[in-house]
Amino acid sequence: MKINKYEEMNAFAIDMLREIGSIGTGNAATALSTTLSAKISMSLPEVKIMGYNQVIDFLGGPEKIVSAVLVHMTGAFSGIMLYLLDIDFVNIVFERLSLDKIEHFDEIDEIRASAIAEVSNIIISSYANAVSQLSSIPINLSVPAMAINMLGGIMSVPMSEYGYVTDTIMIVDGKFIYNGGEMTSNLIMLPDIKSLNFLLNKLGVFNE
């Protein structure tokens, strides 16, 4: 059985994606702890299938300013991963890397932009490795591209690339825990439908 849209996934499929999210977040927390020389853990993530506008509202509204890092997945598994960071998260990254904190995203310079891209790439790679680990599907990742913009503008990228295929997207919602506080972590994972079916088949959810 194949699916034509994300929302056609059954409960078992969502549970398998949640397992990928759990492994990915665990790997990401370990990698971040090493990179930032700090003890970082992460709450159990939730995998949500939501409409584009729902995601924008869920993340804070179209005018919220965020930093985002986009990576394209190619090879046997195609699609995009989009990692979103709010200012509290990037300031913790800056603090751990001995960089001055910022009050507004327009203060981001080349060094800080590079730090954001590097940390985001570590997190994205952790999720990609989780997919490969459970499914044995090799995934190639492009060089990360970072942008700072209003959330509505950021979300126009997955909408333009995949809006013709599906009006819903998959978001892995979790929280990094550092020094007693929580940092929101949101990863949008959008494999194309062919790749999603391939993944679900590899995971034993559907048979081709």
pLDDT of residue 193: 87
Domain boundaries in the chain?
6-202
Long-range contacts of the stretch 151-154 (C-beta < 8 A, 24+) = 151/56, 151/59, 151/60, 151/61, 151/62, 151/63, 151/64, 151/65, 151/66, 151/84, 152/56, 152/62, 152/63, 154/66, 154/68, 154/82, 154/84
pLDDT of residue 4: 83
CATH of 6-202, one of 3.30.420.40, 3.40.1550.10, 3.40.605.10, 3.40.50.720: 3.40.1550.10
pLDDT of residue 14: 85
pLDDT of residue 81: 93
Residues 50-68: tens digit of each pLDDT = 888 899 999 999 999 999 9
Query: Does the pTM exceed 0.85?
Result: yes
Q: Could you say which residues of the chain have pLDDT below 70? A: 1, 163-165, 206-208
